[in-house]
Structure 1
Amino acid sequence: MTFSIAARCTRTGQFGVAVTSSSPAVAARCAHVRAGVGAVCSQNVTDPRLGSRLLDLLGAGSSATSAVREVVVTEPCVEYRQLTAVGAQGPGAVYSGARALGRYAEAVGPDAVAAGNLLSGPGVPQAMLDAFATDPAAPLGRRLVDALAAGAAAGGEEGPVRSAGLLVADDVAWPVTDLRVDWTDGDPVAELATLWTVWEPQADAYVRRALAPGDAPSYGVPGDE
């Protein structure tokens, strides 16, 4: 019911995830990022606890491959899960359980991992990685949104998707980008792209308002001087 990409930006050190699904509020359950540590997805028949566990393993020094392997060999019901992970160094990793839904596929690139289930065709994850690699100088959020759009253009899910989300972690304790389309009868990937165009010019200012409000730019609303 889902296709996603987890990635790092070697230029900025950021980590991010973009995900879309036919089920509601997909990012709330499937997308996980942690500053300085990594980006992971726990999807298919989703267990959100596995996302936190993968990040904990990455934070403790495990490679993405070792972290995914540790979860696979120790978690019950893992055959229902699809997992991706990207850490601070080394290649990403992916696992698709034997009971993943419908047609499932995965692809691993130098700095990103894409995977999906109930896909229209096996080329969707690779199309996402190809789009992600197109402009390494672009902001990570934009690259992830473009990758998600490329997956949709390559066929995406067999049925319509209804929700989408984008998470980006930088060097603060909270995600510097957390955008959600939790349900729509329209195109959640396109709506997410619109949200990103609104958010991108303001993202740094919101971090500055948190860390140093006296030096941060105004909101531009009445009474804000």
Structure 2
Amino acid sequence: MTFSIVARCSRTGMFGVAVSSSSPAVAARCAYAQAGVGAVASQNITDPTLGPRGLELMARGASAAEAVAILKRTSAYSEYRQVLAVDSAGISAVHSGPRALGIWAEARAPDVACGGNLLANDGVPQTMVDAFLVSEGHLGDRIIAAMRAALKAGGEAGPVHSAGMKLVREVSWPVADLRCDWSDACPIEELAKLWDIYKPQLDAYVTRAINPSDAPSYGVPGDE
């Protein structure tokens, strides 16, 4: 019922995670990232504690592979779970339990890992990885390209209804946390529209938080 991507920009050090599902508000339960540390997606009969635990392990020095292995070994019902992670060195790792739902698959490369369950076919994650690797530009653009590629490759076996993307960089909060919690159309395209609107303003929002006196105008009535 879910496919996702965790990724790192080797040029900027930014991390991102995106996920889509037939379930409502999937990104609220499955997408986790921390600046300077990494990104984690936890899915398939979701255990939302796995994301924060994975990030904590990597913050303490574990690689993505080590963190995923520890989560697999120490978590209850790991045979039901899928966990994807990427760390600050670009190491990526995936655990897919044998009781993941339907057709499930995973793929990874330096700086990126993708996985899914209840997929239309087992080639979807590799298609996502390939799309990410050949893409260029902002990490958010590259992640959207991978999610669109997943849809083109078949995506889920049924329709998807929610999607979200989270991006982190040098500050302690997500610099982008965009979600389409339910759509009867295409939530990935709704997410892409949100990103197109938000992307030109991303840096300004960060500047306003750090030092409002250096920020550009707010673009609201009465602003000078």
Deviations 1:83-114 (A, max 9, x none): 00000115200000111000000001111000
3-state secondary structure, aligned to 1:151: helix
For 2:141 and 2:90, locate their aligned partners in 1 and report how far apart those are by CA, in whole Å.
23
Aligned to 1:95: 95
Aligned to 1:213: 212
Q: Residue type of the partner of 1:152?
A: L
Deviations 1:170-206 (A, max 9, x none): 0000000100000011100111111110011000000
Residue 124 (structure 2) pairs with residue 124 (structure 1)? yes
For 2:52 and 2:18, locate their aligned partners in 1 and report how far apart those are by CA, in whole Å.
17
- Could you state the TM-score of these two structures normalised by the residue count of structure 2? 0.99
1:63, 1:90 within 8 Å by CA — same for their partners in 2? no
2:8, 2:90 within 8 Å by CA — same for their partners in 1? no
- Could you state the TM-score of these two structures normalised by the residue count of structure 1? 0.98
Residue 24 (structure 2) pairs with residue 44 (structure 1)? no
Q: Residue type of the partner of 1:164?
A: A
Aligned to 2:141: 142
1:119, 1:157 within 8 Å by CA — same for their partners in 2? yes
Aligned to 1:76: 76
3-state secondary structure, aligned to 1:71: helix
For 1:221 and 1:53, locate their aligned partners in 2 and report how far apart those are by CA, in whole Å.
40
Query: Could you list the runs of 4 or more consecutive aligned residues of structure 1 that deviate by over 6 angstroms after TM superposition?
Result: none
Aligned to 2:195: 196
Aligned to 1:8: 8
Give the alignment's Cα RMSD to 1 decimal: 0.7
Segments of 5+ residues of structure 1 without an aligned counterpart are: none
Q: Go from structure 1 to structure 2 and tell me whether the alpha carbon gap of 1:216 and 1:90 turns closer, same or farther (over 3 Å shift).
A: closer
3-state secondary structure, aligned to 2:53: helix
